[in-house]
């Protein structure tokens, strides 16, 4: 299946990806030219390859689909993804993977500010570096960074785990470095393997919540 | 929301198509700003003793009469070239005197920009209409900035549209909103900076004018703006020989930069850059927060 966005509309592509006919299909998308909302809300198990740069919210709300972008992505890549795999071979702009619940998002280049903000369970693996305020208030899920992290990483973080191979310019409030146990090395090896990035888990440091900012007491569970 | 575009030609062969390339970029940003549009284009520089001034009137403006008024009161050698609601005036008298005279003497038109090579055009309406009004697609030049406006802070009028002049051959376009513009405007007014509207972006332009008048360089002025302007912004600033880009430290307003051997471009979104020849081979990146980027050609 081929869509050429030089002539066809984004809705035509997305309607196909929402419908049952896309189940098991292989979809090639040409001439995206930075258009918004490409492959948003894909619902079926299918393979989508977009040849070129994409605009806002590409692959947002994805379920099941395997989406590859052979270019850079604009803001909101993979926002609120539920499952499936999204891979960008270039860089991703602001707030990629924001609020996402499940699946795997791989950015082979750099991801800019607020990467994984309010993450709710998805895994994000970035081959390069991430911008400021990444993983802000991230609740659960994992963020792996093979390069460096900019200021205020993990500010007000809940239970998401962050692994960074390079330098961290600054940690946000209540985010601390934590020990790498076998459990963490194992999960990191598996994530790097799934992302097809050839680094050793031993090169990374782990960061997470100091749990001083929020107070959860199991005895008070009925109050929450 | 607003859209910003900028294009700087490194390869002189592109100068003849600058207007058509900027038009294509600006139309891509129409969704981000359908209320009004404007652009600054740098071309045909006049000699050191002369100055170009762009005046904004309306469809009924009698440019012959304006020309006569300038010839009698300021410069008998004045040349005036009307382009739709605007006109470019070439004067053979020095900068400050001419600008002060125009500001105080011409009551029916207002100045949008001045310098040796800058011309600034802006109007209400969809960017496509504004481009057609001024025939931007036929214009030539070395570099240009454009803006599409979705008004958030103040009214939709031609006066409230971008670019705003910040001095000789300088202008500013803004995507974002400033929160301390009212107090800052009063402070700058007290220091002699004139404002034509209650627009927040005009205060950013006025702020740079004020710093430059105090003797700061453009880079120093932009550095100082990071401390003194509160709010969200991606600015593109046109200079005589190039342009500069600055984002606030939070950097939630988008910006993309791209460079090839033939050109440097900036836009709010990649889709404008996708209109340029050779874009597929361009180096494309997102400018870092609170970091000044600038390009200058040797004058």
Which chain A residue has the Cα nearest residue B287? A112
pLDDT reported for residue A22: 97
Each residue's pLDDT tens digit, B51-87 = 999 999 999 999 999 999 999 999 999 999 999 999 9
Query: Mean pLDDT for chain B?
Result: 94
Each residue's pLDDT tens digit, B101-127 = 998 999 999 999 999 999 999 999 999
Give the whole-angstrom CA distance, residue B198 versus residue A187. Answer: 56
Contact flag A93-B254 (C-beta cutoff 8 Å): yes
For β-strands A26-30 and A47-51, DSSP reports them as: parallel
- Angle formed at CA B288 by CA A128 and CA B6, multiple of 5 degrees: 120
pLDDT reported for residue A127: 98
Residues of B labelled catalytic: 2
Q: Chain A residues with CB inside 8 Å of B269's CB?
A: 34, 55-56, 74
Q: How far is B274 from chain A (nearest CA, A)?
A: 6
Which chain B residue has the Cα nearest residue A72? B284
Domain ranges of chain B: 2-42+128-296, 46-116
pLDDT per 10-residue tile (average), chain A, 224 residues: 96 97 97 95 97 96 98 97 98 97 98 97 98 97 98 96 98 97 98 98 97 75 66
Retrieve residue B89's tokens: 């005036």
Each residue's pLDDT tens digit, A62-78 = 999 999 999 999 999 99
Q: Chain A residues with CB inside 8 Å of B256's CB?
A: 93
pLDDT reported for residue A224: 57
Strands (E), A31-128: 47-51, 66-69, 85-88, 104-107, 120-126
Q: How far is B143 from chain A (nearest CA, A)?
A: 23
Q: Chain B residues with CB inside 8 Å of A113's CB?
A: 251-252, 289
3-state SS, residue B224? helix
Q: Which residues 95-114 in chain A show a CB within 8 A of chain B?
A: 112-113
User: Does the pLDDT of residue B144 top 60, yes or no?
Assistant: yes
Which chain A residue has the Cα nearest residue B272? A34
Q: Report the sign of the C-alpha dihedral through residues B65, B71, B75, B79, in that order.
A: positive
Contact flag B252-A112 (C-beta cutoff 8 Å): no
Which chain B residue has the Cα nearest residue A133? B250
**Could you tell me which residues come within 8 angstroms of residue B30 by beta carbon, excluding any fewer than 6 positions away?**
B3, B37, B126, B127, B128, B148
Of A33, A74, A113, the CB nearest to B251: A113
Report DSSP state, residue B210: H
Per cent of chain B over pLDDT 90 is 85
**Which residues share a beta bridge with A4?**
A30
- Whether B2-42+128-296 and B46-116 share one fold: the answer is no
Q: What is the DSSP string of B128-190?
A: HHHHHHHTGGG---SEEEEEEE--SSS--SSTTSSPEEEETTEEEEEEEEESSHHHHHHHHHH
Question: How many CA atoms are closer than 13 Å to the CA of B51, on its beta-carbon side?
Answer: 21
Give the whole-angstrom CA distance, residue B269 versus residue B256. Answer: 6
pLDDT reported for residue A53: 93
Retrieve residue B145's tokens: 């900035």
CATH architecture label of B2-42+128-296:
4-Layer Sandwich (3.60)
pLDDT reported for residue B299: 56
**Residue B210's pLDDT band (cuts 50, 70, 90):** very high
Q: Chain B residues with CB inside 8 Å of A90's CB?
A: 284
ipTM: 0.84
- Angle formed at CA A58 by CA A57 and CA A62, multiple of 5 degrees: 100
Contact flag B274-A112 (C-beta cutoff 8 Å): no
Q: What is the third-level CATH fold of B46-116?
A: Alpha-Beta Plaits (3.30.70)
pLDDT reported for residue A222: 75
pLDDT reported for residue B280: 87
């Amino acid at each position: 299946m081929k869509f050429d966005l030089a002539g066809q509309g984004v809705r035509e592509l997305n309607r196909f990806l929402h419908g049952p006919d896309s189940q098991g299909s292989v979809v090639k998308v040409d001439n995206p030219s930075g258009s918004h909302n490409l492959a948003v809300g894909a619902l079926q198990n299918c393979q989508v390859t977009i040849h070129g740069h994409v605009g806002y919210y590409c692959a947002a709300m994805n379920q099941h689909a395997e989406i590859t972008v052979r270019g850079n992505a604009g803001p909101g890549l993979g926002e609120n993804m539920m499952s499936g795999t999204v891979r960008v071979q270039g860089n991703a702009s602001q707030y990629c993977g924001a609020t996402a619940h499940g699946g795997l998002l791989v950015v082979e280049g750099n991801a800019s500010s607020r990467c994984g903000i309010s993450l709710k369970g998805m895994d994000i693996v970035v081959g390069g570096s991430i911008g400021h305020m990444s993983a802000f208030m991230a609740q659960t899920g994992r963020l792996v960074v093979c390069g460096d992290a900019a200021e205020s990483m993990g500010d007000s973080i809940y239970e998401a785990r962050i692994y960074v191979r390079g330098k961290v310019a600054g940690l946000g409030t209540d985010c601390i470095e934590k020990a790498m146990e076998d459990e963490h090395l194992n999960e990191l090896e598996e994530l790097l393997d799934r992302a097809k990035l050839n680094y050793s888990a031993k090169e990374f440091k782990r960061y997470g919540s100091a749990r001083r900012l929020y107070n959860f007491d199991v005895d008070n569970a009925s109050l929450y | 929301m607003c859209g910003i575009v900028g294009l700087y030609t490194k390869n002189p062969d592109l100068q003849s198509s600058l207007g058509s390339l900027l038009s294509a970029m600006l139309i891509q940003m129409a969704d981000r700003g359908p209320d009004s549009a404007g652009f600054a284009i740098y071309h045909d520089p006049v000699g050191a003793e002369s100055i170009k001034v762009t005046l904004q009137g309306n469809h009924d403006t009698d440019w012959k009469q304006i020309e006569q008024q300038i010839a009698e009161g300021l410069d008998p050698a004045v040349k005036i070239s009307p382009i739709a609601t605007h006109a470019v005036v070439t004067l053979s008298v020095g900068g400050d005197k001419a600008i002060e005279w125009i500001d105080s003497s011409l009551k029916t038109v207002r100045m949008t920009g001045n310098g040796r090579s800058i011309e600034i055009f802006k109007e209400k309406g969809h960017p496509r209409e504004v481009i057609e009004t001024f025939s931007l697609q036929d214009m030539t030049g070395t570099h240009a900035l454009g803006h599409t406006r979705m008004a958030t802070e103040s009214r939709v009028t031609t006066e409230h549209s971008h670019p705003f002049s910040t001095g000789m051959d300088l202008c500013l376009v803004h995507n974002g909103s400033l929160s301390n513009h009212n107090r800052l405007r009063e402070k700058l007014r007290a220091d002699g900076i004139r404002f034509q509207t209650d627009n927040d972006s005009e205060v950013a332009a006025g702020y740079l004018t004020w710093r430059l008048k105090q003797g700061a360089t453009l880079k120093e002025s932009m550095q100082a703006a990071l401390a003194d302007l509160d709010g969200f912004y991606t600015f593109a600033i046109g200079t005589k020989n190039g342009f500069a880009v600055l984002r606030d430290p939070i950097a939630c307003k988008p910006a993309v930069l791209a460079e090839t051997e033939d050109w440097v471009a900036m836009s709010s979104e990649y889709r404008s850059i996708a209109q340029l020849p050779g874009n597929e081979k361009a180096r494309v990146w997102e400018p870092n927060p609170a970091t000044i980027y600038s390009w200058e050609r040797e004058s």
